[in-house]
Chains A and B, each alone.
Chain A
């Protein structure tokens, strides 16, 4: 069995052999893993596959294995969000996307490593330690959905679900040389996904090719009455897979090629844009003057929402409980022991940004800046169909290199978080290498214009071979 298979190939293999055999093969690979991508391997995966073999299933993903980020609730599997505070917690319910996957016949291999509560860009803030980048085991895979990106890149799952609050799908996709989509806010239900920053985040797929992203989107996207921010849309994602971008107008926002960008990244992205040009597209530079304020705005909003979202981890109903002479002391000690340093920093900053006397200076200000950022995008996207930019200004960094300085770490999100502020759709596709490390091209579309984004990504893939390259260290 080939190590890296597309979903179509996996389905072919299931037909030839069985879902059980395919799942067993992935479990074997996971067993030999060098990347610490999974935090939980499901003990029900084989059973699930056998059941599909025995009973048959006509779903679009019948017997196809998938990896799930550890902040997406799967009934009966631990849901730790990379945190000690959720030690032992097993959700009694499925996230909406999991219900959809199970109905489609997918087999859940396990839960993947992530930065604690999705707060980070490297998986280093995980209580379970960092995952390794399959392209260089001494480097981080990106984050926060680093485990999901790493297992897809290493061939330990054909595809995976992550979540993207400020770049948490696209950044690890870029660092691991896979494809990752952040859908428009409201396109995929957030029910059952442990909230970091509600108004910014979406569940997003990671895969080795654009087609598999579309296959997965057709399963997980759509209206859910349990998520009030869910929006009805009739998008058929696989229909967007057309190898043709003639007349496409591309905008290149120069602010995304700012100070500190790696020259190879800049070159790879421009090469990609010129590739589009050669295929019949046109491009122009666009200016987005408020983008430089996006990162600060993003972090203030995310931390404020997070400080509130994470208040429910109080040792009372589940997870870790420390000893304390009274309830308030117990809660303070539990949270001191259960949360990692970066999570605590963000909770403290978010608490401060919402506190009396500072609410307007930080939180309200950030929301106003968000308006300006969104206006910049609206303006740019009124002139062009799509925007293209580097997903991250630099390739994957070394484990331990940036963890001590929060600000440097935050800068990994500089090109991705503006998209979350504006609620747009955006994908990262492999577009080159520097010193053996993958580079990601970010394609940004209007809200609910995933079809244009996917079409451009698909066309690029059909006319290049970056997505066929595999990391030698885990081959």
Chain B
């Protein structure tokens, strides 16, 4: 079971601001889902390898060949927050 503090901690890790009231709502909903996920515990899997990918493909590379970059104005076209060719954001901490 996850607690209110857990929800706050995950919210911070995921950078999603959660209000006091939402914390309780999330806690209940997340716990019901986690409870459902808990059914996997009944399945013994000690000797089972995880499957990250269904296809067993190795060594996919590209050659070291230069391709065209985007023009600066295209890079910045989706934001109003720019200055001197750079993205501008508030101070960090």
Are the CB atoms of B54 and A423 closer together than 8 Å? yes
**Chain B CB within 8 A of A140 CB:** no
Return A416 CB to nearest CB of chain B, in Å: 16
| Interface presence of B39 (CB below 8 A) | yes
User: Contacts A367-B50, A370-B50 known; A345 to B30 CB distance under 8 Å?
Assistant: yes
Cα A353 to Cα B37 with chains together (Å): 10
A348 near B11: Cβ-Cβ < 8 Å: yes
| Contact B40–A293 (Cβ < 8 Å) | yes
Closest to A323 in B: B90
CB of A248 closer than 8 Å to a CB of B: no
Residues A423 and B55 in contact, CB atoms below 8 Å apart: yes
The count of A-to-B residue pairs whose CB atoms sit within 8 angstroms is: 156
Cβ of A349 < 8 Å from any Cβ of B?
yes
Q: How far is the CA of A88 from the CA of B78 in the complex (A)?
A: 7
A92 and B74 within 8 A (CB): yes
Contact call B36/A407, Cβ cutoff below 8 A: yes
Rounded to whole Å, the gap between the CB of A291 and the closest CB of chain B is 12
> How many B residues face the partner with a CB closer than 8 A?
48
Decide: B93 and A326 in contact? CB cutoff 8 A: yes
Is B64 located at the chain interface by the 8 A CB criterion?
no
Question: Is A186 interfacial (CB-CB < 8 Å)?
Answer: yes
The reply to whether B78 and A348 form a contact with Cβ atoms under 8 Å apart is: no
Per-residue CB contact flags for chain B residues 4-26 toward chain A (1 = under 8 Å, else 0) read: 00110011111111100000001
A372 at the interface (CB under 8 A from B): yes
How far does the alpha carbon of A388 sit from the alpha carbon of B61 in the complex, in Å?
38
Judge if B79 is at the interface, Cβ distance under 8 Å.
yes
- Pick the most buried of A317, A319, A361: most chain B CB atoms within 10 A of its CB: A317
Q: Which residues of A contact B52 (CB under 8 A)?
A: 199, 367
Q: Please state if B74 and A317 are interface contacts (CB–CB under 8 Å).
A: no
Per-position contact with B for A329-364: 1 when CB-CB < 8 Å, else 0? 111110110010000110111011101000001101
Q: How far is the CA of A259 from the CA of B4 in the complex (A)?
A: 34
Q: Which B residues lie within 8 Å of A367 (CB)?
A: 50-52
**Residues of chain A contacted by B13 (CB below 8 angstroms):** 351, 355
**A309 CB to nearest chain B CB (Å):** 12
Q: Which residue of A lies closest to B76 (CB)?
A: A317
Indicate whether A368 sits within 8 Å of B15 (C-beta atoms), given known contacts A318-B78, A406-B29: no
Complex interface: chain B residues within 8 A of A410 (CB): 33, 36
Whether B45 is near chain A, meaning CB under 8 Å from some CB there, is yes
Q: Is the interface of B mostly helix, strand, loop or mixed?
A: loop
Tell me which residues across on chain B come within 8 A of A297, comparing CB atoms. 40
Kindly list chain B residues whose C-beta atoms are within 8 Å of the C-beta of A332: 11-12, 15-17
Once the chains are docked, how many angstroms separate the CA of A336 from the CA of B19? 10
User: B89 an interface residue at 8 Å Cβ cutoff?
Assistant: yes
A369 touches B37 (CB 8 A): no
A228 to B55, CA, bound (A): 11
Q: Is A307 an interface residue (CB 8 A)?
A: yes
**Are A317 and B40 in touch, CB under 8 angstroms?**
no
User: Which residue on A lies nearest to B19, using beta carbons?
Assistant: A336
Q: Does B66 contact A (CB under 8 A)?
A: no
Chain A residues with CB under 8 A of B62: 225
What residues of A have a CB within 8 angstroms of the CB of B89 in the complex?
316, 327, 330
Contact A351 B14 (CB under 8 A): yes
Within 30-81 of B, Cβ neighbours of A (below 8 Å) are at 30, 32-34, 36-37, 39-41, 43, 45, 48-55, 57, 60, 62, 70, 74, 77-79, 81
Q: How far is the CB of A258 from chain B (nearest CB, A)?
A: 14
CA gap between A316 and B89 in the complex, in Å? 7
Would A293 and B39 count as touching, CB distance under 8 A? yes
A348–B37 touching, CB < 8 Å: no
In chain A between 192 and 224, which residues have their CB closer than 8 angstroms to a CB of chain B? 199
Residue of chain B at shortest CB distance from A313:
B15
Query: Most A CB atoms within 10 A — which of B16, B62, B92?
Result: B16
> Among the listed B16, B41, B50, which residue makes an inter-chain contact with A335, where contact means beta carbons less than 8 Å apart?
B16
Contact in complex: A371, B40 (CB < 8 Å): no
Chain B residues within 8 Å of A26, by CB = none
Report the minimal beta-carbon distance from B91 to chain A, rounded to whole angstroms. Answer: 5
Q: Is the CB of B50 within 8 A of A348?
A: no
Q: Which 5 A-B pairs have the closest CB atoms?
A: A423-B54, A367-B50, A318-B78, A336-B17, A368-B45
Given contacts A348-B30, A349-B33, could you give 7 more A-B pairs where the C-beta distance is less than 8 Å? A199-B52, A327-B89, A333-B17, A335-B14, A336-B17, A349-B34, A423-B55
* 27 examples of A-B residue contacts, CB within 8 angstroms: A88-B78, A92-B77, A185-B54, A199-B53, A228-B60, A290-B43, A296-B36, A299-B37, A314-B15, A317-B79, A317-B87, A326-B93, A328-B15, A332-B16, A336-B16, A339-B16, A344-B16, A345-B30, A347-B16, A348-B14, A351-B13, A365-B41, A367-B51, A368-B49, A374-B54, A410-B36, A423-B54
B: residues with CB less than 8 A from A are: 2, 6-7, 10-18, 26, 29-30, 32-34, 36-37, 39-41, 43, 45, 48-55, 57, 60, 62, 70, 74, 77-79, 81, 87, 89-93
